[in-house]
Structure 1
Amino acid sequence: MTTKTPVRPALVTATALGAGALLALGAPLAASAHVGVDSTSTAAGAYTVLSFGIPHGCGTSPTTKLTFTMPEGIDRVTPTVNAGWTIETVVEKLPEPKIDSHGASVVDRVAQVVYTATTPLPSDLRDVIELSLQLPADAEGETLAFPVLQDCVEGSTDWSEPVAEGEEEPEHPAPSIAVTAAEEGGHHGAAAPEHGDEHEASDAAASDDGTARAIGVTGIAVGVLGLGAAIAALVLGRRSRKAE
């Protein structure tokens, strides 16, 4: 007696697993659709390393230049060397001198940091740009926006639209961080971090980015396995139908 295997359940299984594979493949891509920013610290007055994830921003056109604009209250920025990019800073005079946390007089500030690609970054690849800086000591509870102008071989995208809490995210949101309360012990008059501390902060940011990439790769792998299982189920169903 020949056992009949229903074809419809196999098709349903294939469809479901196929859809799961597409979702797994699409999730990491959707997550990288905007220029995002991660920070090693968000405490008011703290030294932090901001890591900006740079995805495609001009359709399929490669990226040629990235201009990062600093919000008021941030005066000194140390860009991280990144292979494939040249770096320059745009300095502007302050309306009036002020005294920094080290007791020194400050008469100007880094208003922008510009990364120019030695070879345009393809649209199917992403990069991470890191900037080291001190968050304003009086910015607790504020959201600091770091607009990024992404120039491409053809066109550009200005990631500068403000993000309002409780409202729908705009098409081109500015990368932002919410400044939290100062850490116990205070950083208002703290000295600049030692080189080892900067390296640890940079390594932490790189580790976070690596973790995000690993999650994305895992999602893709699961999706591919699911798609393979769906195809196998479909083939077995057809074979069983022919054997009837």
Structure 2
Amino acid sequence: MSHNIWYSTADKADILAFLGSNGNVPANQQRRLAEMRTSAQVYQAELVRQDVDWGLPVPEALEHLIAGHTECDTEYAGNAYHAAMQIIIDQNASDPAHLGTYSRPATFFSYVGEVMQSLGVPAELLPYGFFYPTTLPGGFPYIPHSADVYPAIGHMPLAKAKPAADAYRAILDQLDPSTRYDIQELIDKLDLEHEHWVYGTEKLDWYTQDTLFLALT
């Protein structure tokens, strides 16, 4: 099975405004809330079409997050909560861009990370930690892990995009040739997002994005 990785950027505060809000958000955010609910219904309909039952419908998981809890403890509830959280992120983030398609991304980035660390890349900049973090960013509620790893939500502060890209670039020629293309793609994406972040923070008074989010499906 192939796994796709998409990324987007957002202001964490915009996402947190919906979590635990009970739907009591300003009028200008009510449209986003309505679109989240519609997206959750569409997501659930596709699960039903595929005969997938997580024991917690995605629309219900979304309402749990809006109410500020993740009380369902069925085996696959984490899958539903991750899907619902990704819907909230998507409604508050930039348009998603495709990073890559992998047959076993966790294995790939774990292996590359071990090699990178042996070559001097600091542990806090290793890609596996951004792609498969143990928790969501600070301030976000706990949600159970997906039972089969996917869907998963990765994240990194935009302030770390350039340090990570520079660290990967410094050891790129020492990596196994079979992995260099994918790491170069990651470097290019991080460079681009760093440039957008610097321009936005310096030139745009409305720009507040601070986090790169990764959607792994």
TM-score bracket, normalised by the shorter chain, equals under 0.3
Q: TM-score, normalised by structure 2?
A: 0.27
User: Which structure has more strand as a fraction of its residues?
Assistant: 1
* TM-score (ref. length: structure 1): 0.24
